[in-house]
């Protein structure tokens, strides 16, 4: 439980530190337009937990305006913010729906940092739902795109997340160490103290479970040094307390748990208060001081019930039953043994319900995805129909224009032909008149009909030889003799 919490804090830190960036040439919108989108996105972050509805409203405004001005980057971040709000509300299906839409946009604009960020967010949803396989799949994708982007801090986060999944089962501890150690190296390179502290606690806890106490002590102390006086140090102190108890260094164990308790009470961090009080109680129980142990166990029981920390209550009731039994108080021993059995059954039922819920969640997710795919298909078909109609209108318009020009061309040719025919008829009439003026009528008629004339004999014929200007004009006015 503790390891998961540390991991989650690191995830939230990575989200809060990850700034909004604008990718090159994604939009034709002006700087003022994109600035408005970015402002709305930044404002929405302030209301993630305090006023979720307002956060969603601001992010939705940002998304709609970003889509209007074709600012893809802004639309993607707005959708991501909506997903984060739903995640904090425990509405995992809605969170994944918005994350998936955001991821699709980042993929379209080839924003590797955005892609890495969304795969990480999606992985956290599956991690919280206990779907380790899908969580790991998304974390590895996040790691891949973080490396493509060359973003070392995001690589660090992805490595830690992958390690957290492998850290769930004893069989994959070595794999978890492999990724944690890579993340550790980047923490030191980037001088990320809080992240270094969290990862060192995780590494130390694995060595603690593997009974390599020397390495566990090394990494717990390293985490304490990295945290310094920050709030995260309470995790280091509680981890050291467990290790010192295991080695029977009871004074050091009590001191470590007391230091963790002081920080937890200052922060009013109730889960850490429960864990610190249980740590002190377990030290006293190991020393055989059951009375002191039960005193701290009872103190831990109150906030544990208040926040419904069932995993801690299970361990607490088991230890209390054991302490009462050793103290000879069998009535209370039976009471807490019964409480232990009941809450164990509750956790089993919760785990079963969670598995069934995961199946329902997967079904709902697939159904939602099918609806989205169908909607996308319908939109594509509508777009195709609009394109077809537009093409038909364009083709019809082009056809009408073509018919108009062809008609115009035919009409022009017809007019030219009429003009030419009129000219030819005029010239023909002129030629015929000239023939009649210079030849006998029967000869002229024969030439017109046959194209040639038969020689004739004339007893008397007079021939006028002329060679003067305007003969044709004058001959035009004469009739054959």
Of 306, 284, 287, nearest to 297 by C-alpha is 284
**Helix (H), strand (E) at residue 473:** helix 471-476
Q: 284-290 contacts: CB < 8 A, separation 24 or more? A: 285/319, 285/322, 285/323, 286/245, 286/248, 286/250, 287/250, 288/326, 290/323, 290/324, 290/326, 290/327
**d(Cα 431, Cα 476) in Å, to the nearest integer?**
10
Kindly state the DSSP code that residue 171 receives in the 8-state scheme.
Answer: G
Mean of pLDDT values over 292-313? 93
Q: pLDDT tens digits for 142-185?
A: 999 999 999 999 999 999 999 999 999 999 999 999 999 999 99
Of the pLDDT bands very low, low, confident and very high (cuts 50, 70, 90), residue 128 is confident
**d(Cα 411, Cα 421) in Å, to the nearest integer?**
15
**d(Cα 378, Cα 87) in Å, to the nearest integer?**
29
What token pair was written down for 217?
A: 């002590």
Mean of pLDDT values over 2-28? 40
Of the pLDDT bands very low, low, confident and very high (cuts 50, 70, 90), residue 30 is low
**d(Cα 354, Cα 129) in Å, to the nearest integer?**
7
For residue 388, pLDDT over 80 is answered with no
Domain boundaries, the chain: 419-476
Q: pLDDT tens digits for 318-331?
A: 999 999 999 999 99
Mean pLDDT of the chain: 82
pLDDT > 70 in the chain, percent: 72
Question: Model-level pTM?
Answer: 0.66
Of 80, 154, 156, 164, nearest to 122 by C-alpha is 80
Of residues 268 and 359, more confidently modeled: 268
Q: 3-class SS at 48?
A: coil
The length of the chain is: 481
Of 273, 183, 188, 212, nearest to 237 by C-alpha is 273
Residue 451 confidence (pLDDT): 60
Residue 20 confidence (pLDDT): 37
**Helix (H), strand (E) at residue 107:** helix 92-108
Chain centre to alpha carbon of residue 360: 23
Does residue 49 contact residue 16 with C-beta atoms inside 8 Å? no
User: CA–CA distance from 470 to each of 42, 108, 433, 438, 478 (Å)?
Assistant: 102, 90, 16, 14, 13
Tokens 């099918």, residue located: 370
Mean of pLDDT values over 115-135? 93
Mean of pLDDT values over 188-217? 96
Residue 349 confidence (pLDDT): 62
| Torsion-angle region of 343 (φ positive above 0: left; ψ -120 to 50: alpha; else: beta) | alpha
**d(Cα 253, Cα 246) in Å, to the nearest integer?**
9
For residue 27, pLDDT over 90 is answered with no
For residue 123, pLDDT over 90 is answered with yes
User: CA–CA distance from 162 to each of 178, 284, 382 (Å)?
Assistant: 10, 37, 42
HSE of 313 in the Cβ direction (CA atoms, 13 Å)? 21
pLDDT > 90 in the chain, percent: 59
Does residue 120 contact residue 138 with C-beta atoms inside 8 Å? yes
- Share in percent of the chain as helix, strand, coil (round to 5): 80, 0, 20
Residue partners of 256: CB distance under 8 A and separation at least 6: 237, 238, 240, 241, 244, 279
């Amino acid at each position: 439980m503790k390891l998961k919490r540390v991991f989650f804090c690191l995830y939230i830190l990575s989200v809060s530190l990850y700034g909004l960036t604008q990718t090159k040439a994604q939009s034709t919108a002006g700087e003022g337009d994109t600035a408005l989108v970015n402002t709305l996105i930044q404002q929405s972050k302030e209301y993630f937990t305090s006023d979720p509805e307002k956060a969603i409203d601001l992010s939705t405004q940002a998304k709609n305006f970003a889509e209007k001005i074709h600012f893809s980057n802004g639309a993607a971040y707005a959708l991501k913010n909506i997903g984060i709000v739903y995640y904090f509300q425990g509405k995992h299906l809605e969170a994944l729906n918005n994350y998936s839409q955001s991821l699709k946009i980042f993929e379209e604009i080839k924003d590797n940092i955005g892609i890495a960020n969304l795969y990480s967010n999606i992985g956290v949803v599956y991690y919280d739902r206990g779907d380790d396989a899908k969580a790991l799949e998304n974390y590895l994708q996040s790691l891949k795109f973080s490396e493509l982007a060359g973003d070392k801090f995001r690589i660090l986060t992805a490595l830690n997340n992958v390690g957290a999944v492998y850290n769930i089962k004893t069989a994959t501890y070595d794999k978890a160490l492999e990724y944690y150690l890579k993340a550790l190296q980047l923490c030191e390179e980037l001088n990320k103290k809080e992240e270094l502290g969290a990862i060192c606690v995780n590494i130390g806890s694995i060595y603690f479970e593997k009974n390599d106490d020397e390495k566990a002590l090394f990494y717990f102390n390293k985490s304490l040094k990295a945290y310094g006086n920050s709030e995260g140090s309470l995790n280091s102190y509680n981890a050291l307390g467990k290790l010192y108890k295991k080695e029977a260094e009871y004074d050091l164990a009590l001191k470590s748990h007391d230091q963790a308790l002081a920080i937890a009470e200052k922060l009013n961090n109730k889960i850490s208060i429960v864990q610190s009080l249980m740590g002190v109680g377990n030290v006293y129980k190991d020393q055989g001081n059951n009375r002191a142990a039960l005193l701290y166990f009872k103190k831990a029981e109150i906030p544990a019930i208040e926040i419904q920390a069932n995993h801690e209550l299970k361990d607490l009731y088991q230890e209390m039953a054991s302490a009462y039994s050793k103290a000879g108080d069998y009535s209370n021993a039976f009471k807490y043994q019964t409480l232990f059995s009941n809450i164990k059954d509750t956790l089993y039922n919760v785990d079963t319900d969670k598995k069934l819920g995961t199946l329902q969640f997967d079904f709902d997710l697939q159904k939602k995805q099918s609806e989205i795919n169908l909607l996308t298909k319908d939109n594509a078909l509508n777009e195709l129909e609009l394109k077809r109609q537009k093409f038909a209108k364009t083709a019809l318009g082009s056809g009408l224009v073509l018919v108009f020009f062809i008609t115009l061309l035919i009409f022009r040719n017809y007019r030219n032909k009429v003009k030419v025919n009129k000219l030819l008829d005029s010239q023909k009439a002129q030629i015929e008149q000239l023939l009649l003026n210079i030849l006998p009528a029967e000869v002229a008629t024969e030439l017109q009909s046959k194209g040639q004339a038969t020689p004739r004999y004339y007893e008397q014929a007079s021939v006028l030889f002329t060679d003067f200007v305007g003969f044709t004009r004058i001959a035009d006015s004469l009739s054959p003799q």
